[in-house]
A = this chain, B = another copy of it.
Amino acid sequence: MKDFDIFLGEVWVEDNKISYVGKYKEHDCLFDREIDVQKNLIMPGFINAHTHSGMTFLRSIADDMPLQQWLNEKVFPIETKLSEEDIYYFSKLAILEYLTSGITTNFDMYLNPEAIVKASLDMKYRTVLCGAVNDFCLSVEDVERCFNEYNQENSLISYVLGFSHEYTNSKEKIQQVAALSHKYKATVYTHLSETEYEVNTCKEKTGRSPVEYLCDLGVYDYGGGAFHCVHMSEHDLDLFKEKHLNIVTNPASNLKLASGIAPIQAMLQRNINVCLGTDGAASNNCLDMFREMFLVTGLAKYKNCDASAVDAYEVLKMATVNGAKALNLNCGVLEAGKLADLIILDLYQPNMQPMNNIAKNIVYSGSKSNVKCTMVNGEILYEDGHFYVGFEIEALYDEIQKRVERLK
């Protein structure tokens, strides 16, 4: 564990799974391709446990304003003009960016599940969708239909129950989601306690914190978790621990929208499973797990006035195996039988030298530029700066720019 068991050896991939991990050994099967990674690192891909892929079109459009104003004045009005096809193209751009950052799965919440499913399948990418029930456009019936449809269609796609936010759903809607969760004994995810304003408003309305309120409504009786969780009381955190809920932290987005710094150290002290996500390109603005990894530990050190808070090993777990656990995915570690969602990191760039500690090098110094190769489900989709996703990248950029001009 101390150095994440880094060893010299081989990883074999057959179909979409890892078939062997260990020292060099003779083999009689014929591989399509053998890659000498030299002394670079093969590791599990990162799991981006909270994002809105379709929002790439908003990158750098609506910066420098507070969250509620940003949502109400910029994001919501322009989103009403979006077509399913728009979301399809914008999601493809996000997936390209995930590949450059070694992200092999996204946990995605957005308006139109069909669009991101089509984008992911066309690019052979792995997506877990999250239901986004809200009072304006997505019903509980929509989410139930998707839950049944997308949990059998393809091993690259799965679907988790969820709703947008406490504050964009009536009590009845939230109770309906809870009932759905009870019916299928299924987990539920939502945005939660992202801003102080959200927490205060909920308290005024219900007399309870958002976490307490959702627990009261039975939302979390079958587990799941929440995104952001910046403003959590001790009691909120205790509830999360008691119910074995997962937290997806989004440090860059929380900073940039001035929402705050999540109490990561207090979560880890309770053994809560903490995962890492980029949030969407509208707020972050880039979809880069290396930035999130540095931030989650840097901000925890600052918040706790303790430079030893949240060490690099914890951070690597957040970015890989913790995400897999939360999303019930058979990946996140190098082990025979696991899904072949793998990345190769280039350790021979200046930011990774000298090799005093490879895990710390990755978390504190790593960058997109170290990602040599990203494999999803046994297929290499990105290698040495080239994408293998079935279309011309510049044509996609042109298509997106045209659509953005129309929407603006």
Contact = CB atoms under 8 A, between A and B. Distances in A.
A354 B255 contact: no
A368 B367 contact: yes
B255 A299 contact: yes
Nearest to A400: B354
A352 to B, nearest CB: 9
B285 A353 contact: no
Interface stretch (A7-15, A93-101, A322-330): A93-101
A364 B93 CA distance: 17
Given A60-B360, A369-B367, A301 B404 contact: no
A57 B354 CA distance: 6
The complex is assembled from copies of this chain, and their number is 2
A308 B64 contact: yes
A255 B256 CA distance: 16
B59 A354 contact: yes
A298 B252 contact: yes
Contacts of A369: 100, 367-369
Interface stretch (A130-138, A240-248, A267-275, A343-351): A343-351
Interface residues of A, number: 69
A119 B394 CA distance: 40
A104 interface: no
B256 A301 contact: yes
A124 interface: no
A65 interface: yes
A116 to B, nearest CB: 16
B57 A258 contact: no
Contacts of A299: 255
Interface stretch (A167-175, A203-211, A287-295): A287-295
Given A285-B360, A354-B404, 18 more contacts: A56-B353, A60-B356, A61-B356, A61-B357, A63-B360, A64-B307, A70-B307, A96-B350, A255-B298, A257-B301, A257-B307, A258-B301, A258-B302, A258-B304, A260-B302, A285-B364, A287-B351, A350-B393
23 contacts: A56-B353, A59-B361, A60-B365, A63-B364, A65-B308, A66-B308, A96-B350, A97-B351, A100-B349, A252-B294, A254-B302, A256-B297, A258-B302, A281-B365, A284-B364, A291-B294, A348-B394, A350-B393, A353-B397, A354-B397, A355-B401, A367-B369, A369-B369
Interface of A: 56-61, 63-67, 70, 93-94, 96-97, 100, 252, 254-258, 260-261, 281, 284-288, 291, 294, 297-299, 301-302, 304-309, 311-312, 348-351, 353-357, 360-361, 364-369, 393-394, 397, 400-401, 404
